[in-house]
Amino acid sequence: MRESVCADDAERLIKGLLNQERTALARTITLIEDESPCAEEILKEAFRHRGNSKIVGLTGAPGVGKSSLVDNLVSIIRDEGSTVGIIAVDPSSPFTGGAILGDRVRMRSRTTDEGVFFRSLASRGHLGGLSRHTGDVVTLMDAFGFDYILIETVGTGQSEVDIMLYAHTVVVVLAPGMGDDIQAIKAGILEIGDVFCVNKADHPGADKTVSVIESMLELNKDWKWKPPVVKTVAAEQVGVEDLLEQIKSHLEYLRANDLMDKRVSRSYRASLEENIRRETVDKVLRCAIKDGVLDVMLDEMLKGKSDPVTCARELVRKYLCGKEI
Ligand SMILES: Nc1nc2c(ncn2[C@@H]2O[C@H](COP(=O)(O)OP(=O)(O)O)[C@@H](O)[C@H]2O)c(=O)[nH]1
Ligand SMILES: [Mg+2]
């Protein structure tokens, strides 16, 4: 019964999505976040229609100015007549003002501008992981037909780095005087950056930060694409055109060197992993929570009657093995 209702709904939403109806897009994203079975059909169909968007990720520590940059990039992209979908996977800390800036883009997309669509994804899902839906939302926005998709995420952990795998071009954003974050760069982000952006160039030490990044990039002699380092003052709309030019150059480089497929398959791989986790780890935990089995097991562990290894095996056997999933 549920299936047939779902099928109708899915068909209508797919049609709407491909007709660039924003309500259909918004509704489908909600279905995905709710992990509704209807979302699956839509996603399968949407996947067949993706492949035209330029997907750009922006990552960096909280407060460096990612949302401000996104806001600026959106203005320039719109001035060029292109459309843009924005995905913010950002806890929007009240201390950084992230929420307020996000609101600015969100307001524009809700009120006057049909060419902008903003969606923030809850960064912590109910199972405790980082948003597992980013890849799916990228697929939907791509199928919808935005010229650009911008993904903003806080670049502090591995999961955030993983989200960047959905992008064709990754922009790593820094601000001057961030000694600790230069260390963080060493721990993984340097490798994924295609373009580096030193924002808040109105603050002292911007040139120093640029040269630190450049000297780190020098260590890798194998670059076919040497990531450019761009200075911006997002608060005053300075340097953001140059940033967009560098992003476009990188996309052009990928295309000219037949590297786009590699990037795309990187994102498919990330999507695949995301889906496998959802079909296994998330499913087992969800079932165990729903049935109350998890609480029972935790209690048994507390009483010394069981252990995580045994319980994990039991849960996998109970909820995955021999069952249709
Ligand atoms: N001085 C200065 N402040 C900036 C600049 N860009 C952003 N900001 C401010 O820095 C704060 C954090 O910016 P936001 O874009 O929310 O950073 P996010 O957390 O990385 O998204 C806000 O108060 C911005 O107004 C800049 O280029 N210079
Ligand atoms: Mg932000």
pLDDT tens for the chain, residues 1 to 325: 444 557 668 899 999 999 999 999 999 998 988 878 888 889 999 999 999 999 999 988 888 899 899 999 999 999 999 999 999 886 544 444 444 445 555 555 546 788 999 988 865 544 444 567 889 999 999 999 999 999 998 766 666 677 888 999 999 999 997 655 566 565 677 788 999 999 999 999 999 989 888 888 888 767 789 999 999 999 999 999 999 999 999 999 999 999 999 999 999 998 898 888 888 988 899 899 999 999 999 999 999 999 999 999 999 999 987 655 4
Nearest Cα neighbor of 119 from 106, 138, 130, 107 is: 106
DSSP secondary structure letter of residue 26 = H
Q: Is 176 in the pocket of ligand 1 (CB under 6 A)?
A: no
Q: Which residue has the tokens 């996104």?
A: 70
How far, in Å, is the centroid of ligand 2 from the Cα of 199? Answer: 13
Query: Closest-lying ligand to the alpha carbon of 68?
Result: 1
DSSP secondary structure letter of residue 189 = I
How far, in Å, is the centroid of ligand 2 from the Cα of 37? Answer: 31
Distances (CA, A) of 77 to 69, 192, 247: 12, 24, 12
CB 179: neighbour CB atoms within 10 A?
A: 9
SS3 32: helix
Q: How wide is the angle at C-alpha 27 spanned by C-alphas 23 and 28, nearest 5°?
A: 120
Radius of gyration of the chain (CA): 21
DSSP secondary structure letter of residue 149 = E
DSSP secondary structure letter of residue 87 = E
How far, in Å, is the centroid of ligand 1 from the Cα of 248? Answer: 23
What tokens appear for 143 in the block?
Answer: 């199928």
Chain length of the chain: 325
Domain ranges of the chain: 1-49, 50-257, 273-319
Q: Is 155 in the pocket of ligand 1 (CB under 6 A)?
A: no
Rounded to two decimals, the pTM is: 0.88
**CATH label, 50-257, candidates 3.40.50.970, 3.40.50.300, 2.60.40.10, 3.30.499.10:** 3.40.50.300
How far, in Å, is the centroid of ligand 2 from the Cα of 286? Answer: 30
CB contact at 8 A, 143 and 85: no
- The protein residue whose alpha carbon is closest to atom 16 in ligand 1 is 98
CB contact at 8 A, 192 and 172: yes
Task: Give one DSSP letter per residue of 210-238, joined into a string.
Answer: HHHHHHHHHT-TT-SS---EEE-BGGGTB
Q: Is 239 in the pocket of ligand 1 (CB under 6 A)?
A: no
Q: Which residues contact 244 (CB under 8 A, 6 or more apart)?
A: 73, 76, 77
Phi and psi, residue 130, nearest 5°: -70, 160
